[in-house]
């Protein structure tokens, strides 16, 4: 409905309804590392996979505003408040780029939101955990945004052009988010005993859910192979998880905080850190809706959506008025 950076909305349904391209031709384009653009013909499965992934990503960005937004009014200083507000606004912006990217595939933004609200589409399970103390804000920035970066940097090379380009900007902002989280934790872990204990407690609670952000292990991730073949996904869940662990362990040492895993140890032979077994039954429970904050997050989102209806109506009325004036001027 509103113009965006990617393409004019009117052209998109044509793409969606275009005949299937020759699959071998399409695969050759992917294998040559070319980008697929909104007006290009694409297999329906490719389009659907992307819409689902981009929508889930967009939903995660805007639901992710809630656990941190809860601390804006309680930030310990004006400086911390200003930084946190900027960070939460960035996440709204990420949602915006991503809904716009989904629209280039013929998806309707209002419909995607309906699907989020009635549970047909998901968002990242990590946002179903509560933010109990100020240290959780540091930990989310450090671990959750850190994991998001590891997931999203390869998406900058995703075969679908609008998604890949949106990710470049998102990753730059995520890098700021990760550093601000690290800096909060660094201050706490070098503060009083009580502050250090608060930081350690937050890390203890967020570490395992952060590892689960990469999804189930490769043998339990049936759609991964097709996404890899299509150049949507570049690395497997387990590869990305390992990369995150390898990146994070030295940072935890710099913070003077312990990661809650007795099996965490450098493996000289593999050139990676070994880590303990992940209890994925927790992830599957949270996905099913049984996490600590699922109901609260959805109730808040639906309420915010209903309360914002007047703003969407006003924007449409304003756009219609100006379109009518332009038409009059042309006539």
Residue with the two structure tokens 């909060």? 184
Q: Does 91 bind Fe ion (CB under 5 A)?
A: yes
Which of 47, 109, 177, 241 forms a contact with Fe ion (CB under 5 A)? 177
Determine the straight-line distance between the first and last CA of the chain, rounded to whole angstroms.
23
Q: What letter would DSSP give residue 276?
A: P
Closest CB to Fe ion among residues 61, 103: 61
Closest CB to Fe ion among residues 94, 301: 94
Report the C-alpha dihedral over residues 101, 104, 107, 108, rounded to 10 degrees: 80
SS3 8: coil
Question: CA 223, 36, 163 angle in degrees (round to 5)?
Answer: 70
Nearest approach in angstroms of CB 170 to Fe ion is 6
Interface pattern 247-286 for Fe ion (x via CB under 5 A):
----------------------------------------
Backbone angles phi, psi at 36, to 5 degrees: -90, 130
Whether 116 and 179 have beta carbons less than 8 Å apart is answered as no
CA distance 68 to 70: 5
Number of residues near Fe ion (by CB under 5 A): 6
Segment contacting Fe ion (CB under 5 A): 88-96, 132-140, 180-188, 285-293? 88-96
Closest CB to Fe ion among residues 40, 183: 183
CA distance 283 to 213: 9
Q: Does 103 bind Fe ion (CB under 5 A)?
A: no
Which of 59, 94, 241, 243 forms a contact with Fe ion (CB under 5 A)? 94
Q: Which two tokens stand for residue 20?
A: 């299937």
Q: Does 68 bind Fe ion (CB under 5 A)?
A: no
Segment contacting Fe ion (CB under 5 A): 114-122, 156-164, 166-174, 221-229? 166-174
Burial 217-240 (b: 16+ CB within 10 A, else e): eeeebeebeebeebbbbbbbbbeb
Closest CB to Fe ion among residues 91, 261: 91
SS3 274: strand
CA distance 22 to 286: 40
Q: 135 to 154, contacts with Fe ion by CB under 5 A?
A: 145
Nearest approach in angstroms of CB 295 to Fe ion is 23
Segment contacting Fe ion (CB under 5 A): 3-11, 24-32, 153-161, 177-185? 177-185
Interface pattern 110-139 for Fe ion (x via CB under 5 A):
------------------------------
Segment contacting Fe ion (CB under 5 A): 86-94, 180-188, 260-268, 309-317? 86-94
CA distance 68 to 140: 8
Segment contacting Fe ion (CB under 5 A): 24-32, 112-120, 172-180, 286-294? 172-180
Closest CB to Fe ion among residues 42, 166: 166
Q: Provide the binding-site residues for Fe ion, judged by CB under 5 A.
A: 61, 91, 94, 145, 174, 177
């Amino acid at each position: 409905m509103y113009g965006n950076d990617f393409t004019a909305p009117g052209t998109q349904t044509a793409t969606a309804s275009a005949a299937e391209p020759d699959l071998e031709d399409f695969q050759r384009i992917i294998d040559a590392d070319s980008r697929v653009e909104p007006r290009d013909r694409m297999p329906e499965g490719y389009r659907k996979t992307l819409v689902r992934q981009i929508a889930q990503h967009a939903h995660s960005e805007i639901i992710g505003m809630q656990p941190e937004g809860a601390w804006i009014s309680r930030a310990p200083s004006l400086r911390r408040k200003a930084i946190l507000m900027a960070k939460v606004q960035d996440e709204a912006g990420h949602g915006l780029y991503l809904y716009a990217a989904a629209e280039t595939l013929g998806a309707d933004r209002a419909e995607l939101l309906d699907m989020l609200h009635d549970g047909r589409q998901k968002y990242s399970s990590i946002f179903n955990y509560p933010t109990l103390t100020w240290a959780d804000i540091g930990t989310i920035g450090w671990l959750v945004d850190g994991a998001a970066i590891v997931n999203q940097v390869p998406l900058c090379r995703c075969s679908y052009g609008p998604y890949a380009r949106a990710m470049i900007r998102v990753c730059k902002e995520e890098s700021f988010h990760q550093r601000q989280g690290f800096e909060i934790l660094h201050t706490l872990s070098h503060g009083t005993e009580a502050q250090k204990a608060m930081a350690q407690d937050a890390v203890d609670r967020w570490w395992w859910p952060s590892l689960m952000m990469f999804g189930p292990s490769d043998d339990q991730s049936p759609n991964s192979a097709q996404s890899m073949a299509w150049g949507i996904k570049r690395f497997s869940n387990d590869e990305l998880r390992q990369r995150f662990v390898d990146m994070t362990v030295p940072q935890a040492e710099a913070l003077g905080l312990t990661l809650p895993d007795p099996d965490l140890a450098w493996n000289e032979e593999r050139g990676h850190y070994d880590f303990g077994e992940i209890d994925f039954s927790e992830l599957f429970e949270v996905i099913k809706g049984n996490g600590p904050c699922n109901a609260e997050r959805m109730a808040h989102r639906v309420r915010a959506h209903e309360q914002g209806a007047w703003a969407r109506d006003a924007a449409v009325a304003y756009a219609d008025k100006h379109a009518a004036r332009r038409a009059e001027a042309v006539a």
